[in-house]
Chains A and B, each alone.
Chain A
């Protein structure tokens, strides 16, 4: 996935240190997909998909803490 493939609403997240994979996993997760389906979509394992989502959420939490 390239920068241009990103939904514009997600570009600000990319600027906040989320990797493209974390972004993709997060977006799929927000769409209501479970880890197994995210893994299938991304062509990775369940554990990897979960890792990307959790890392992305963790980074978001830190950013929220800073902003709150």
Chain B
């Protein structure tokens, strides 16, 4: 693991810990390393040094950062955990999660590790993980598209109400329709146009 190319002292210093704090964590280096590895897989941490110290001082041991390797003899990797770890790793690089990045990450894992109990990450494993990851991504994207479509409906409702309340008349609408066409669907714009057509003439 790349962290081990640095000593614990160097790693802690790179995280911004003071010499006194470093001394404290060096008293139980195994537990300190456990929390460092755990920290690496957490996303959105704004104060890693503070969190590391807080976790260490609880006196407990970090959750197994290598849980994805699986710990049941005779079984392969723990897929859900492996997938989660891979996504975290990709997310921690600051890039948007995409299949090719996950694939790259899985290839890296394959080269650097052996899945616990001797099993290796096979092509079949990678395919399965990628399928699952793709499905998760697609669901996520569909959700986002749906939310934005809901926003469009909300915009339509807003302008429809404005028209019904007489706050926007036909003349005003004529002025803003070319712009509304850019944020609503054709059907939605037509619906608004129809509403003003129904306005009673004064």
Chain A residues within CB distance 8 Å of chain B: 13, 26, 30, 34-36, 45-48, 50, 53-54, 56-57, 60-61, 63-64, 67-68
Contact of A64 among B98, B141, B151, B179 (CB under 8 A): B179
Given contacts A30-B182, A47-B96, contact A64 B145 (CB under 8 A): no
Question: Are B144's CB and A57's CB within 8 A?
Answer: no
Contact of B155 among A34, A47, A61 (CB under 8 A): A61
Given contacts A35-B141, A67-B176, contact A46 B96 (CB under 8 A): yes
Q: In the complex, what residues of A have CB within 8 A of residue B175's CB?
A: 67-68
- Among residues 118 to 172 in chain B, which have CB atoms less than 8 Å away from a CB atom of chain A? 141, 144-145, 148, 151, 155, 162, 167-168, 172
Given contacts A35-B141, A47-B96, contact A54 B148 (CB under 8 A): yes
| Chain A residue at smallest Cβ distance from B158 | A61
Q: In the complex, what residues of B have CB within 8 A of residue A34's CB?
A: 145
Q: In the complex, what residues of A have CB within 8 A of residue B61's CB?
A: none
Given contacts A13-B182, A35-B141, A57-B182, contact A68 B148 (CB under 8 A): no
Given contacts A50-B148, A67-B176, A68-B162, contact A26 B141 (CB under 8 A): no
Q: In the complex, what residues of B have CB within 8 A of residue A61's CB?
A: 155, 183
Write the nearest CB–CB distance from B61 to chain A, whole angstroms.
Answer: 36
Write the nearest CB–CB distance from A10 to chain B, whole angstroms.
Answer: 9
Given contacts A45-B96, A45-B98, contact A64 B176 (CB under 8 A): yes
Given contacts A46-B141, A50-B144, contact A68 B183 (CB under 8 A): no
Considering the complex of A and B, which 8 residue pairs feature the smallest CB-CB distances, nearest first? A57-B183, A45-B96, A60-B183, A64-B179, A67-B176, A64-B176, A60-B182, A47-B96
| Chain B residue at smallest Cβ distance from A58 | B183
Besides A46-B141, A48-B96, A68-B167, 10 other A-B contacts (C-beta < 8 A): A26-B182, A30-B182, A53-B148, A57-B182, A60-B182, A61-B155, A61-B183, A64-B176, A64-B179, A68-B176
Cβ of B181 within 8 Å of any chain A Cβ, yes or no, is yes
Contact of B182 among A35, A36, A48, A56 (CB under 8 A): A56
Question: Are A35's CB and B145's CB within 8 A?
Answer: yes
- Per the bound structure, the CA–CA distance linking A51 and B182 in Å amounts to 15
| Chain A residue at smallest Cβ distance from B98 | A45
Q: In the complex, what residues of B have CB within 8 A of residue A64's CB?
A: 176, 179-180, 183
Contact of A67 among B141, B151, B179 (CB under 8 A): B179
